Amino acid sequence: MAGLVAADIEIADWLRRNFSHKCIILAVNKCESPRKGQMQALEFWSLGFTPLPISAITGTGTGELLDMVCSELKKFEGLEGLDDVEEDENRVPAISIVGRPNVGKSSILNALVGEDRTIVSPVSGTTRDAIDTELTTVDGQKYKLIDTAGIRRRAAVASAGSTTETLSVKRAFSAIRRSDVVALVIEAMACVSEQDYKIAERIEKEGKACVIVVNKWDTIPNKNNESTTHYEQDVREKLRVLDWAPIVYCSAINGNSVEKIISAASLVEKERSRRLGTSILNQVVREAVAFKAPPRTRGGKRGRVYYTTQAAVRPPTFVLFVNDAKLFPEPYRRYMHKQLRSDAGFPGTPIRLLWRSRKRTDRQQRRSNTEARGALVAAS
């Protein structure tokens, strides 16, 4: 570390003169050692700002830096972006009700709102359009419910030769895209089909929160805890791409447990918008790496995770900064994905993990060369 230089003092004075009304964060880089970093940063107190020791190479202190920036941004939004904040607070979560034809989607909508807003018929494909209905719960929470035409197999649509049917399918997938939560409805007595899985894949691909709704549960005879457990295992096996989604059992015809759909949707929508603290996130990743280190390549190289940050919500998206993303094979990535979900939660929503390589800096190159020379000397 070069230490405090004249240019640092000049920049600090310029910031005080021109941006005294702004938040100024002083980050002291190249403090690789947390303990020594505090000592190295001491002389920067003379600039009039609180120094934060960090290391871009090892990631030391970068989590705290990100937390500080995010915290100040929230304050900034609260003062200068008030309209945007209010708009976000007043945002009405959209819940789309999708599934194959004749599984009871419109009946569920009618049971939720308490009135016949769509035509309900045992004839497959009665509801041909996506219909938006506003629902206000007893606690005042508003939701936009989107009922869709049953999503049919492409072959069935083609054989029908109906432009209206084709448009209904497109609108159903469009409803998934513009929703926050998707209620995937399946029929209790019917087997989970390939088409159900295709719908599930679309939900995961779009990054939407999901609740699996098993309708017509009253038609299953002789139910008990054991049979329900076996049924759930079968559903999760066949819809494994949504193994993180909660399952609600209901009967739209008699109204049994339909209200649980909204309760579950509210929970998963909050999880989809949740942000995990940087320190907790990095602790989870460190423990996962300590429990199971990345595998070595044939050349002896091994992946190294420097630090992790949450880059986005809806869905929660995490970026892992590593030495070389190519050193993390797919099985290890799945392991990290599983560990993050196991330790951090996020039920009912997909999560994304992005692996980003950090370019080797001159400092890293010198360190690597020094280690290589040391190895050669030891070998000789």
CATH number of the domain that 373 lies in?
A: 3.30.300.20
Residue 103: is its pLDDT beyond 80? yes
User: According to the per-residue pLDDT averaged within each range, which of 138-147, 170-179, 181-190 is highest?
Assistant: 181-190
Q: Determine, yes or no, domain membership for 1.
A: no
Edge to edge, the sheet with strand 317-322 lists 305-312, 317-322, 352-357
Residues 6+ apart with CB under 8 A from 161: none
Burial of 1 (0-12, 13-18, 19+ CB in 10 A): middle
**Long-range pairs for 284-289: beta carbons < 8 A, 24 or more residues apart:** 284/339, 284/340, 284/343, 284/344, 285/320, 285/336, 285/340, 287/339, 287/343, 288/335, 288/336, 288/339, 288/340, 288/343
Q: Please tell me the predicted confidence (pLDDT) of residue 339.
A: 96
DSSP H or E run through 317 = strand 317-322
Give per-residue pLDDT as tens, 54-65: 888 877 778 778
One domain for residues 44 and 179: no
What's residue 159's pLDDT? 56
CATH number, position 49: 3.40.50.300
Asked whether residue 4 carries a pLDDT value surpassing 80, the answer given is yes
Domain boundary among 272, 295, 328: 272
Check residue 359 and give its pLDDT: 61
Highest mean pLDDT among 17-21, 195-199, 337-341: 337-341
Is residue 124 domain-shared with residue 235, that is, in the same domain?
yes
Same domain flag for 233 and 374: no
The answer on 83 and 96 residing in a single domain is: no
pLDDT in tens, 352-369: 999 998 765 444 445 555
Same domain, yes or no: 189 and 212 = yes
Characterize 124-162 residue by residue with b for buried, 16 or more Cβ atoms within 10 angstroms of its Cβ, and e for exposed: ebebbebbebebeeeeeeebbbbbbbbbbeeebbeeeee
In the listed set 72, 87, 102, which residue is the last one of a domain according to the structure? 87
The yes-or-no verdict on residue 144 having pLDDT over 80 is yes
Q: Measured between alpha carbons, how far is 279 from 53 in angstroms, rounded to an integer?
A: 15
State whether 83 and 177 are in the same domain: no
pLDDT bracket for residue 120 (50, 70, 90)? very low
- β partners of residue 352: 317
For residues 73 and 119, which has the higher predicted lDDT (pLDDT)?
A: 73
Q: List strand residue ranges (DSSP E) for 23-122, in order.
A: 26-28, 51-53, 94-99
Q: Are residues 101 and 221 in the same domain?
A: yes
Mean per-residue pLDDT over the chain, rounded: 81
In DSSP terms, 214 is beta-bridged to 186, 249
Give 105-164 as a DSSP string.
HHHHHHHHHTS--S---SSTT---S-EEEEEE-TTS-EEEEEE------HHHHHHHT-HH
Q: Which residue has the higher pLDDT, 94 or 175?
A: 94
Answer yes or no: is 110 within a domain.
Answer: yes
Residue 115 in domain: yes
Q: What is the pLDDT of residues 304-355, one digit of tens each?
A: 999 999 888 999 999 999 999 999 999 999 999 999 999 999 999 999 999 9
Q: For residues 249 and 111, state if they share a domain.
A: yes
pTM of the model: 0.68
Nearest to 110 by CA among 261, 270, 218: 261
Please tell me whether residues 184 and 260 are part of one structural domain.
Answer: yes
For residue 200, pLDDT over 60 is answered with yes
Looking at the predicted structure, is the pLDDT value of residue 152 above 60? no
How many whole angstroms separate alpha carbon 273 and alpha carbon 64?
Answer: 21
Q: Is residue 13 part of a domain?
A: yes
Q: Which two tokens stand for residue 24?
A: 């100024």
Are 165 and 266 within one domain? yes
Q: At what angle do helices 62-80 and 82-89 cross, to 10 degrees?
A: 100
User: Is 244 inside any structural domain?
Assistant: yes
The last residue of one of the domains, among 87, 116, 148, is 87
Question: For 154-293, where are the alpha helices, taking DSSP H only?
Answer: 154-160, 163-177, 194-205, 225-238, 259-272, 278-291
pLDDT grade for 132, boundaries at 50, 70 and 90: confident
Domain that holds residue 267: 92-272
Domain annotation covers residue 195: yes
Highest mean pLDDT, choosing among 98-107, 111-120, 128-137, 162-171: 98-107
pLDDT at 128 over 50: no
Are 162 and 97 contained in the same domain? yes
* Residue 318 forms part of a structural domain: yes
Residue 230 belongs to a domain: yes
Q: Tell me the percentage of the chain whose pLDDT exceeds 90.
A: 43
pLDDT tens digits, one per residue of 240-270: 999 999 999 999 999 999 999 999 999 999 9
Task: Report the number of distinct structural domains present in the chain.
Answer: 3
pLDDT at 89: 60
Does 301 lie in the same domain as 318? yes
List pLDDT tens digits, range 72-88. Answer: 765 544 434 333 333 45
